[in-house]
Structure 1
Amino acid sequence: MTIVNVHQAKTQLSRLLAQVESGEEVVIARNGKPVARLMRVQKQGKPQFGSWKGRISVADSFFDPLPEEELAAWEGN
């Protein structure tokens, strides 16, 4: 892990990003105290249809008609 101060990070950002791309973590410090960590972003796969199946459920009452007063509020009356 490389630790750099803010000035170094600003002037050597491209080099630091290359280090991060190769798998190294870089810590940016202000006055010797760590403030931020640069690390490689994990590549995310495409969302898969049905991946939430079995994780959530909707109550049957969700499909019940709305009460008249709430329906009127939605319709702006």
Structure 2
Amino acid sequence: MSTLLTTLEQQARTLAPDERARLAEVLLESLHDTPLPEIEAEWQREIEKRVAAYDRGETQVYVAQEVFAAARRLGK
């Protein structure tokens, strides 16, 4: 490990938890071609689309207890 990386790691550990979380987010974002805010915006659009379809009665809904019961039956 480089000296710079070791120094940065030590400094990062002194940050408050919310600051470390933000630093982690920034570093992860730097690894992707698409920035996280763009991905989050796309997810928000998808959520809104699905909620609107639900509100219009265009989606099939399932009772959670029935889904879990069916999953348990399949797992046996």
TM-score band, normalised by shorter chain? under 0.3
Name the structure where strand makes up a greater proportion of residues.
1
Name the structure where helix makes up a greater proportion of residues.
2
TM-score by length of structure 2 reads: 0.22
TM-score by length of structure 1 reads: 0.21
